[in-house]
Structure 1
Amino acid sequence: MHFRKKQQSVSSYFLGGKVTPAWALALSIVATETSTLTIISTPGLAYTGNLSFLQLIIGYILGRILICLILLPAYFKGEMYTAYELLQRRFGSTVKHAAAGMFLITRALAEGVRVFAIAIVVSVALGSGDVYSILIISGLTLLYTFEGGLTAVIWTDVMQLLVYLGGTLVTFFVMLGLIPGGWEGVVAVARPKFTLWDFSLSFHIPYTFWAGLIGGAFLTTASHGVDQLIVQRLLAAKNERDGRTALLASGVIVFFQFLLFLLIGILLYSFHQYHPQSLAVSSPDRIFPAFIVMYL
């Protein structure tokens, strides 16, 4: 409710009054593109593979650079409240409404999956069941968004990021302490998993440098350059320079965030080698939650 008093205009509600610092916008962008599924499933990639997924993040950073050079200057020519106002200026209201409608439909479908994933965690923690957990999450989210506008959303994002990254770091050091020999013990059994680069041109390998660079760049240009979910945070920057700083900084943060998640996966693999009976799970995606439940 603290942010409710600051909602004095359309700009303050939808753009936070354009006073949010760039660092907070950067953290909000990272939190927005990171879901429960990301936190749970990314360690599984390193558990079954290696660090090659990080090559995709190089493409994410390239995509951000392209957005800063091509799209961001256009967004800051006059005050805009949505990404689709630019389409209206260039192509008319029909294109704007079509793009906005597509965003609402696809976002509703995507967020439905994310809300359900969070509801599973809430259900386990509170014993409230899936349906009531979904209602609790949706109700609280609607409340702070409706009352506080974008400002409340951004600062909630910042707090969420600090919580999940802080929890992941705690898990990292707890797990490292449970592995015989610590980091040396990890390297001893998981050295091949520290492989990062793959410059092959094979279409049968999911993560190569070229696939990551091209695919990651296209994906990020779409998700961060024209998707209202991210663009609204860029539009909330004080000026184009702050928007550019926030977007590029978010790319650096995302790189180290995914590195942390992947290292968690390598530690889980090492832990399992030393304690093969400790984490009996049916899927790599379940091994990180299983460790948290059993050892934290």
Structure 2
Amino acid sequence: MHTLDLAVIVGYLLLMPVLGVLLAGRQRSSSDYFVGGRNLPWWAVCFSVVATETSALTVISVPTVAYLGSFTYLQLAIGYLIGRIVVAFVLLPRYFRGNLVSAYAFLGKRFGGGLQGATSVTFLVTRLLADGVRLFATAIPVKILLATFGVEAEFWQIILGLSLFTVVYTYLGGIRAVIWVDLVQMALYTAGGFVAVALLAGRLPDGWFSGLVEAGKLQFLDFGSHVLTNQYAFVTAVLGGAVFAMASHGADQLMVQRLV
């Protein structure tokens, strides 16, 4: 199984720059490069959005949250849905009417270039910090996997390698390459999730489901916790999820560039 894991990682890393090179010839204007000429398939964009918001931190941390707690974490998804509906009906129409390629261009038209520059710099700095954490989280399982083959790679070497592969396909293929690579990425980790379920299902002890029910592990809605002391109280989770979705999908250029 370790050999298969390594083959998947190597194949994915090789596919990314190849896809970027194949798509590079389609970049005929800045609109092609930044928004894909606005003619990308809607389903590919949707999968790209899901893949983008599901980072290595999500894959590593969410199972732990569910294992130590329950399914109340999923209440956030209700808020996500509400927030995205607001973005779809309030913010996206304004971006399209202005023929804008960034969320911050709208702020520039509305409030001036000073605010546009300030928000753009803020995005770049905070995105750099956030993606640095995500890259480090990605390097942890890669380092462990390489160690099983006797390869002792440093974290900085793994991060540098991942960054170089990403820069190649992003620089050459623009948003079009990013979206198709995201699609491949989502297919990989979704397939990996189904494989993990299939492997673990045969190793569960008898009575595991009733044990989960008795322990309250399958609880989804939490109306009993205090909204100020429990992050997964219903009102707190739904409201927080909605605000987060409006911020990430309505103002974060990482998402807005895919949606416009």
Shorter-chain-normalised TM-score: which range? 0.7 to 0.9
Q: Which amino acid aligns with 2:132?
A: G
CA distance in 2, matches of 1:19, 1:125: 39
Do 1:7 and 1:149's aligned partners in 2 also have CA atoms closer than 8 Å?
yes
Deviant stretches of 4+, over 6 Å: none
Shift of 1:164: 0.7
2:80 maps to a residue whose letter is Y
Q: Which residue of 227, 241, 249 corresponds with 1:224?
A: 249
Displacement of 1:165 in angstroms is: 1.1
- 1:104-133 deviation line (CA, Å, top 9, x unaligned): 000000000011111222223333221211
Q: Distance in 1 between matches of 2:139 and 2:75?
A: 31
* Alignment-derived partner of residue 115 in structure 1: 135
Q: Which amino acid aligns with 1:164?
A: Y
Match of residue 67 from structure 2: 47
Structure-2 residue corresponding to 1:208: 233
Equivalents in 1 of 2:78, 2:138: separation in Å?
28
Residues 140 and 155, structure 2, Cα contact 8 Å, conserved in 1: yes
Match of 1:143 in 2: 168
Name which of 173, 180, 188 aligns with 2:210.
Answer: 188
Specify the SS of the correspondent of 2:232: coil
Question: 3-state DSSP class of the match of 1:105?
Answer: helix
Q: Is the 8 A contact 1:66 1:221 kept in 2?
A: yes
**Mapping of 1:2-151 within 5 angstroms?**
2-126=22-146, 127=151, 128-151=153-176
1:156 is matched with 181
Please give the alpha-carbon distance, in whole angstroms, between the structure 2 residues aligned to 1:98 and 1:111: 20
| Counterpart contact for 2:169–2:177, Cα < 8 Å | yes
Measured in 2, the distance between the counterparts of 1:144 and 1:36 equals 19
Is the 8 Å Cα contact of residues 4 and 147 (structure 1) preserved in structure 2? yes
Identity %: 44
Question: Whole-Å Cα distance in 1 between the matches of residues 251 and 154 of structure 2?
Answer: 36
- Check conservation: 2:72, 2:219, Cα contact below 8 A: yes
In 2, the alpha carbon distance for the partners of 1:60 and 1:200 equals 21
**Contact kept in structure 2, 1:64 and 1:221, CA below 8 Å:** yes
**What is the rounded CA distance, in whole Å, between the counterparts of 1:120 and 1:75 in structure 2?**
38
- Output the amino acid matched with 1:120: I
| Alpha-carbon distance between aligned partners in 2 of 1:4 and 1:29, rounded to the nearest angstrom | 21
**Distance across 1 between alignment mates of 2:224 and 2:41:** 41
Letter in 1 for 2:121: G
Q: Over the residues paired in the alignment, what is the CA RMSD in angstroms?
A: 1.2
For the 8 Å contact 1:201–1:210, the answer to whether it is kept is no
Offset, 1:46: 1.6
Distance 1:69 1:201, change over 3 A: farther
Q: Secondary structure at the match of 1:25?
A: helix
SS at match of 1:8: coil
Pick one of 171, 180, 189 that aligns with 2:196.
Answer: 171
Q: Give the partner amino acid of 2:85.
A: I
Larger displacement relative to structure 2 (192-201 or 18-27): 192-201
Q: Is the 8 A contact 2:98 2:106 kept in 1?
A: no
TM-score by length of 1: 0.76
Give the distance between the partners of 1:223 and 1:201, measured in 2 at CA. Answer: 27
Tell me, in whole angstroms, the C-alpha distance in 1 between the residues paired with 2:178 and 2:33.
10
Structure 2 residue runs of 5 or longer lacking an equivalent are 1-20
Query: Distance between the aligned counterparts of 2:209 and 2:163, measured in 1?
Result: 43
C-alpha distance in 1, partners of 2:68/2:45?
34
CA displacement 1:170-205 (0-9 Å, x = unmatched): 101111111134xxx321221121111112360222
Q: Specify the alignment match of 1:198 in structure 2.
A: 222
3-state SS of the aligned residue for 1:178?
coil
Tell me if structure 2 keeps the 8 A contact 1:52–1:207: yes
- 1:209-245 deviations in whole A, cap 9, x for unaligned? 111111111111111100000000001xxxxxxxxxx
**Contact 1:32–1:157 (Cα < 8 Å) also in 2:** yes
